[in-house]
Amino acid sequence: MRHLIIRNIGPVKFAEFELKRFNFIIGPQSSGKSTIAKILSTCSWVEKEVATTMDEHAVADAAAFRALMVDFHKMTDYFVEDSEIQFETDVIKISLKGESFNVQLKNQELYRREKICYIPSERNSVTLPELQGYEFGPTNLRSFLFDWFNAREYYGKDNKTDILDLGVRYFYDPNEKKFKDRIEHVNGKTYQIPLGSASSGLQSVIPLQIMIQYYSSQYFKTFADKTSYDSDVKTRTIQARVIDKYVLSVAYPGFNPLERNDLIKKQNNLIHEGNPEARELLKKYREELERLTVPVRTAYIVEEPEQNLYPSTQRDLLNFIVASCNWESAHALTITTHSPYIINQLNLLLKAADRNEQVNGAAINFDEINVFSVQEGEIRDLKVQNDGIHLIDTAKLSEDITDIYEQYEAL
């Protein structure tokens, strides 16, 4: 269960829905699509922080919670006196209403760590070589770039990757002095150029594909070597709290924290001596530490995947993203979009799932998806289920085209 309520934040007047594994939000510019996605991202991060550290006060108060969104997601002046957020899962309940803020850790042991991957609309900024080493502050762009620098290194000259069916490959060349992100024609001869010299479409789709591709698969295989800048500090904090909860509190109920180091040494001695109870507690410690520190899936939040792309490429990209989310883990996906082509393609993926088939490896079950339109500050559910037929209502998405033809006929 993942439930989200938003009232009076930025352009969003009211939105309430149960989150699914796939969430698509379409609407005009400045309608509130990204506001919803950014709030979801922040709440998911707070859930991860609170659950992994076992600290309900990891975010101190309403001001600190708002600051996460204002600073990280550039939401300055979005909040008013009666702004409200309610976010509840099986693990946590977060409540913000004005200056009232509360976090309740409902069942920490249900949490399995996930990677939260926010891919902003400014993703083509990776084509600027001077960005590496530039200090952005704690923003979503900084987080994205950090993830990008990790991901691209995997696709070196010996591991080039095709970009959809566009006839080009991407690779990272650390030996280049300036332009390390490279593309080449599939025949390897026609051209080899920096990504920054490519078309706007390639500059948009390549960072998105590489991020989805890497964080759906390879990231989990090399996680121990590719950790975030503050993971060591956080891991030590988590280790200490896991030891206290699952070892010391069990072996020495009501133990004195001042004796903590001595008790840990005592447990280590018992383990070396083969004490079965101590070894069982060690096993439990390792299981719980892995649950809280090793991610099992990625939660993608993607802004405007269609940027600078031809309609057929938009559809191919959506197929690729959905297929990637189904590769090895049940990855989660939230997309904000202006594109009716993206939403219309969903009907094909739903039909494929109904028939136990796939479209280029992609299919979506009807009960795993939300599709909303956002207009005038509120959301409208576009899913339709009638006599076993599963559809996304795309009629309203065609109103502008219909209007053009009506005006044409009138002329």
pLDDT in tens, 164-203: 999 999 999 999 988 999 999 998 778 889 999 999 999 9
Give the three-class secondary structure for 98.
coil
Number of other CB atoms surrounding residue 6 within 10 Å: 26
Query: Could you tell me which residues are beta bridge partners of residue 332?
Result: 299
Query: Could you tell me which residues are beta bridge partners of residue 209?
Result: none
Q: How far is CA 406 from CA 188, 394, 403, 409, in A?
A: 49, 19, 5, 5
Phi then psi for residue 198, to 5 deg, are -85, 175
Give the three-class secondary structure for 410.
helix
> What letter represents residue 231's amino acid?
S
- C-alpha distance across the termini of the chain, in Å: 53
Contact partners, residue 287, CB within 8 Å, separation at least 6: none
pLDDT in tens, the chain (411 residues): 899 999 999 999 999 999 999 999 999 988 999 999 999 999 999 999 999 999 999 999 999 999 999 999 999 999 999 999 999 999 999 999 999 999 999 999 999 999 999 999 999 888 876 665 566 667 888 899 989 999 999 999 999 999 999 999 999 999 998 899 999 999 877 888 999 999 999 999 999 999 999 999 999 988 766 554 455 778 888 999 999 999 999 999 999 999 999 999 999 999 999 999 999 999 999 999 999 999 999 999 999 999 999 999 999 999 999 999 998 889 999 999 999 999 999 999 999 999 999 999 999 999 999 999 998 999 999 999 887 788 899 888 888 878 888 898 998
> What letter represents residue 27's amino acid?
G
Q: Strands, E, within 195-331: which ranges? A: 297-303
Is the backbone of residue 95 left (phi > 0), alpha (psi -120 to 50) or beta?
beta
Query: In which residue are the tokens 């069990």 written?
Result: 250
Q: Rounded to whole angstroms, how far apart are CA atoms 395 and 281?
A: 59
Per-residue model confidence (pLDDT) at position 401: 79
CB-CB contact of 375 with 36 (8 Å): no
Q: Rounded to whole angstroms, how far apart are CA atoms 330 and 325?
A: 6
Per-residue model confidence (pLDDT) at position 189: 77
Per-residue model confidence (pLDDT) at position 229: 42
Give the three-class secondary structure for 370.
strand
Do β-strands 12-18 and 2-9 pair in parallel, antiparallel, or remain unpaired?
antiparallel
Do β-strands 369-375 and 22-26 pair in parallel, antiparallel, or remain unpaired?
parallel
Per-residue model confidence (pLDDT) at position 223: 79
Number of other CB atoms surrounding residue 191 within 10 Å: 12
CB-CB contact of 285 with 246 (8 Å): yes
